[in-house]
Structure 1
Amino acid sequence: MILLQSPSKYLLQILTTRLENLDKGVELDSHWIEFSDVRYHVQASMKNPNLLFLSVSLPPPPPETVSFGGLPPGAIEAIKAAYGVVAQILDPPRDGFSLTLKLNLSKLPPDEEHKHGVLTKIASVREVVLGAPLRVFLKQLASRTVASDIDKVVALVHRPMESFFLIPQVEKVTVVFPMRFKDSIDILLATSFLKEFVDARRTAGLNNAPPCSWSPSPPPELKGAPPEALSSNAGFVSFVIFPRHVEGRKLDRTVWSLSTFHAYVSYHVKCSEGFMHTRMRRRVESLIQALDSAKPEYEKAVKATQNRSFKRLSLKDGRSSLKSFS
């Protein structure tokens, strides 16, 4: 199984390399995209090597979600809590981006372990920003501070112009994902994978994992959701999160796993598709090898058949010629 990591490996590598080579003061200008929905841009100059500008473009939110300046609720507070004096939020952000952070590497803690921890947290900016509203609800669940009279469906950014949904309650939070795929093969593979994923929850050793279910139609919990947000071609996956799933360090893992669930399924679907293609290629290659190995025997048999036919034909022609002289 593929386990997606929270820190961006490429961003962490850039930050670490920059910190190790501050005396060189080289120019830096790098663009890349991860998870097919988040775009990054890192810039640094020779004049002040301690300063880096990190810009992030988030998936455009669908109309049923709430955002503030292109950021999900609670994102600003989450950034300040995670990065402290190391990062300054620029307002407005760079053109074409949802967020721009001015990073000051000189304000990193001197202790190497703590320093690496801050760099790893910066490289996890996707989780910090997109997971902020989900973290708020799960923290309330852990502390049992969810309002007892709450009865609503909360839509959060899932992918570009797509949502997933939270139904918060005092003792549990239900999370529902409408699963959508563009390619017809991906739809079939995803549907099969999700059914097996749900069945795996029933196996021994996974009793403490959040209960999950799959259905081809929207579950009853989404009764209050906008109909246009409930389109799905690979069904709906529901998780029930209890306080024990978000206690202590489990909170970070749960937030990350839920916020990247669609990417997790997509990776497995693509791997399955690639495995199928590899098996097909190997099957074709084995058939070609079998045909190649049989080719000499085939040619030998054809040649022998042709020789026998030629001898019969020659004997017949000879007899015909003898009859013509008789």
Structure 2
Amino acid sequence: MSMILLSSHSKYLLDILSNRVENAEGVDIERRWTEFSDVCYHIKGSSETPEFLNVSVSFPTPPEETEIEKGLPCGATEAVKVAYGVVVESIVPPDEGFSLTLKLDLSKLPKNKEKRNDMLVKIAAVREVVLGAPLKRILEHLASRTRAPAKDRVITLVHRPKECIFLIPREDKVTVIYPINFEDSIDTVLATSFLQDLAETRRSASLYSAPSCTWSSTPPAELDNATTESLSVNAGFFTFVILPRHVEGKKLDRTVWILSTFHAYVSYHVKCSEAFMHTRMRRRVDSLIQALDRAKPESEKSEECAENRSFRGMSINNIDNTFQSSKNMDHNSQSFKITDNTSQSSKNINHTFRSFK
């Protein structure tokens, strides 16, 4: 089973934006949907102003210890302005029930097709831009080897309901700790095994340049001051240590996204492992049934074939003869009694069909 990384943009949102750009006339549109980790989207546009679209996004409710600005993670508002420029305008206050509402002006998209597509992909990745803003700010300080504002202090981020990410920034590294929790006991066992194997794989010589990672069943010492609720997990704690070389240049955005969606990454592979085992078990059961069938004596197989004759295998003449015989049977026989009542006739025919099997 290959390790799949989730794409940073919403494919459904990208399809809607691309279709809107290609069809200049435009139509009235309104769509609502929810993606993984309870991130909800709402897009609305009018045929009267096809160049404008409103995109609203709702993110999971952060815990009390999370620092927020206007309902968004710290730095998210500035990150949106930097990422989208004049193409997108933030509407304050956002639509009711949503954390952020963006007004898109498609007429201000780049004329170059390649650059225009890149901008549409970036807009479809609004989740990464907003939720990854605090993490990106910290990693930018690490990349430039400057002092982070919250040096040596535990920073709490939320990317899943009731689950947090803990960051401990330092001048030469950033420690990222994930409390892993699953509701299903089988998922918990699979996740624990997966995380232990992931930490063990990192020790191979071919992965010496990858971030170091560890798994532990107890909270790391860095989380001594964290709330008890945040530390109530059943699949342990997974820790990454990010160094400056992991966030240099174009590596920064990819590292931010991978760290932001690590919970979803683990959940995805747990479900894949469970589905794989179910498939193997079904195949094993089928092979055992076939082995039992082959072990039956020939006489027993012949009797079984006679009992399991299907209606499909009979000719039309045989069916007509069977019905004719049933009409000539003794009227005292309840199973083949034919009356003028339609419902009773249907029951008798069904009974006859069953007798052919």
User: Does TM-score exceed 0.5, indicating one fold?
Assistant: yes
Deviation, structure 1 residue 193: 0.2
Post-superposition shift, 1:149?
8.7
Partner-residue secondary structure (3-state), 1:114: helix
CA distance in 1, matches of 2:42, 2:85: 21
Q: Note the alpha carbon deviations across 1:175-233, whole angstroms, 9 max, x for none.
A: 00000111101000000000000011112321111000000000111122222211111
Instruction: State yes or no: 1:98 paired with 2:99.
Output: yes
- Retained in 1: the 8 A contact 2:181–2:235? yes
Q: Which runs of 5+ in 2 are unaligned?
A: 305-357
Structure 2 counterpart of 1:22, one-letter code: A
Is 2:161 aligned against 1:160? yes
Deviates more, 1:262-271 or 1:146-155: 146-155
- How far is the alpha carbon of 1:116 from its aligned partner? 0.7
Cα contact 1:148–1:169 (8 A) shared by 2: no
Task: Identify the residue that residue 43 of structure 1 maps to in structure 2.
Answer: 44
Measure, in 2, the Cα distance between the counterparts of 1:296 and 1:32.
58
Q: Distance in 2 between matches of 1:206 and 1:272?
A: 24
2-structure distance, mates of 1:200, 1:38: 32
1:193 and 1:300 mapped to 2: Cα distance? 46
* Identical residues among aligned pairs (%): 63
**Equivalence for 1:71:** 72
Q: CA deviation at 1:276?
A: 0.8
TM-score, reference length from structure 2: 0.81
Equivalent position of 2:110 in the other structure: 109
Count of residue pairs brought into register by the alignment:
302
Query: Helix, strand or coil for the counterpart of 2:177?
Result: strand
Q: Is the 8 A contact 1:37 1:59 kept in 2?
A: yes
CA distance in 2, matches of 1:140, 1:89: 26
The answer on whether the counterparts of 2:150 and 2:169 sit within 8 Å (CA) in structure 1 is no
The one-letter amino acid of 1:248's match is: G
In structure 2, how many angstroms separate the alpha carbons of the residues matched to 1:71 and 1:180?
24
- In structure 2, what residue type is equivalent to 1:52? L
Q: Distance in 2 between matches of 1:205 and 1:213?
A: 17
**Given that residues 178 and 230 in structure 1 are in contact (C-alpha distance below 8 angstroms), is that contact kept between their aligned partners in structure 2?**
yes
Letter in 2 for 1:225: A
The 3-state SS of whatever aligns with 1:36 is helix
Q: Which moved more, 1:169-178 or 1:224-233?
A: 224-233
Q: Which of the numbers 20, 26, 41 marks the counterpart of 1:18?
A: 20
Partner residue in 1 for 2:179: 178
Q: What SS does structure 1 have at the residue aligned with 2:164?
A: strand
Shift of 1:298: 6.5
Q: Provide the residue aligned with 2:57 in structure 1.
A: 56
Matches of 1:48 and 1:227 in 2, distance apart? Answer: 51
Residue 70 of structure 1, CA deviation: 2.1
Backbone CA RMSD of aligned residues: 1.8
Counterparts of residues 264-303 of structure 1 (less than 5 Å): 264-295=265-296, 297=298, 299=300
Native 8 Å contact 1:152 1:224 kept in 2: no
Match of 2:240 in 1: 239
2:136 counterpart residue number: 135
Q: CA deviation at 1:100?
A: 0.6
Q: Distance in 1 between matches of 2:66 and 2:298?
A: 70
Q: Distance in 2 between matches of 1:118 and 1:133?
A: 22
Structure 1: which amino acid aligns with 2:103? K
Spell out the pairing of 1:205-244 with structure 2 (5 A cutoff). Answer: 205-244=206-245
In the alignment, the residues of structure 2 paired with residue 150 and residue 43 of structure 1 have an alpha-carbon distance, to the nearest angstrom, of 42
Q: Return closer, same or farther for 1:46/1:171 CA change in 2, 3 Å cut-off.
A: same
What corresponds to 2:338 in structure 1? Answer: none
Asked whether the 8 Å contact 1:164–1:176 carries over to 2, the reply is yes
Instruction: Note if contact 2:155-2:166 (Cα within 8 Å) is conserved in structure 1.
Output: yes
CA distance in 1 between partners of 2:179 and 2:107 (Å): 44
Q: Distance in 2 between matches of 1:36 and 1:156?
A: 14
Task: After superposing the two structures, state which structure 1 stretch, 78-87 or 217-226, moved more.
Answer: 217-226
Matched letter for residue 286 of structure 1? S
User: Which residue in the other structure is 1:309 paired with?
Assistant: none
- For 2:321, the equivalent position in structure 1 comes to none
**Deviation for aligned residue 1:287:** 2.0
AA of the residue aligned to 2:255? T
**Once the 2 structures are TM-superposed, how far is the Cα of residue 71 of structure 1 from its aligned partner?**
0.7
| SS in structure 2 at match of 1:205 | helix
The answer (yes or no) to whether the contact 2:216–2:238 under 8 Å persists in 1 is yes
Bigger RCO of structures 1 and 2 (CA < 8 A, at least 6 apart)? 1
